[in-house]
Amino acid sequence: MKGIRWMAALLLAVPMGCGIEAGGVDDHGHAPVVSYEPTFITVYLLRGQRLAPARVSAASNTIEDIVAALFKASDLPPPGMDSDLRGFTLRDSQLSRYGQVARNDPDVPRGFRLHIFVGGEETLSRTALAQLTCTTAGLRSREIWVVQVTQMEADGTPHTRGEHVCSEFRDLASPDTQLPP
């Protein structure tokens, strides 16, 4: 009996002695929500075996995500478009300095080389090289001067497909398409 009275006294004392007063709930509007703003970029796909721009979504505007978006769009191109990159996979991409390296000399032009590593059974066509090169050459803020493509075989053997600039593929552009430099 003594234990029951002690327990009852404790239960009555806790709500009063804890210093927290019961109160109403204040409503401060909707809960915070993270909004996703999609990033749209221009990639070069094919319309009738000619290079044509297509706007596609990308995870971000980083080089890696732009090249990944090109491969994704190549696997499932928009209606009326195609890609010579279908069946190939992006293995890696690396950005490095290109041109003369002179310290603090604004008169010495400097840019970047984008090295793209591609996997696939077939040999990359000239049109596929154009898609890779012109999609990434159009990124003016990145100052990519040259795109180097290496194709990796299943056993890991690398085969260089050369260094390219978009202007060498002008003959592949659709009549109404102006390619990047």
Instruction: Compute the chain's Rg from CA coordinates.
Output: 29
Q: Which two tokens stand for residue 60?
A: 């971000």
| Confidence bin at 32 (pLDDT 50/70/90) | low
Average pLDDT of the residues of the chain: 83
Average pLDDT over residues 21-31: 64
Q: What is the pLDDT of residue 117?
A: 97
| Confidence bin at 45 (pLDDT 50/70/90) | very high
pTM, entire model: 0.75
pLDDT at 88 over 90: yes
**Interatomic CA distance for residues 172 and 179, integer angstroms:** 10
Q: Which two tokens stand for residue 15?
A: 């709500």
Q: What is the pLDDT of residue 3?
A: 57
Residue whose structure tokens are 């990124």 = 139
Q: Higher pLDDT residue, 99 or 63?
A: 63
Q: Give the count of alpha carbons within 13 A of 169, CB side only.
A: 32
Spatial CA neighbour of 172 closest among 128, 117, 118: 128
Q: What is the pLDDT of residue 109?
A: 60
For residue 64, give the amino acid letter.
Answer: E
Q: What is the pLDDT of residue 106?
A: 61
Residue 35 per-residue DSSP state: -
Q: What is the pLDDT of residue 52?
A: 96
Q: Which two tokens stand for residue 135?
A: 């999609």
Look at 22-26, 70-74, 128-132 and tell me which has the smallest mean pLDDT.
22-26
| Confidence bin at 108 (pLDDT 50/70/90) | low
Q: Higher pLDDT residue, 91 or 10?
A: 91
Look at 15-24, 45-54, 74-83, 155-164 and tell me which has the smallest mean pLDDT.
15-24
| Confidence bin at 141 (pLDDT 50/70/90) | low
pLDDT at 140 over 70: no
The dihedral of CA 101, 105, 108, 110: what is its sign?
positive
Q: What is the pLDDT of residue 123?
A: 94
Spatial CA neighbour of 136 closest among 127, 123, 146: 146
135 within 8 A of 43, measured Cβ to Cβ? yes
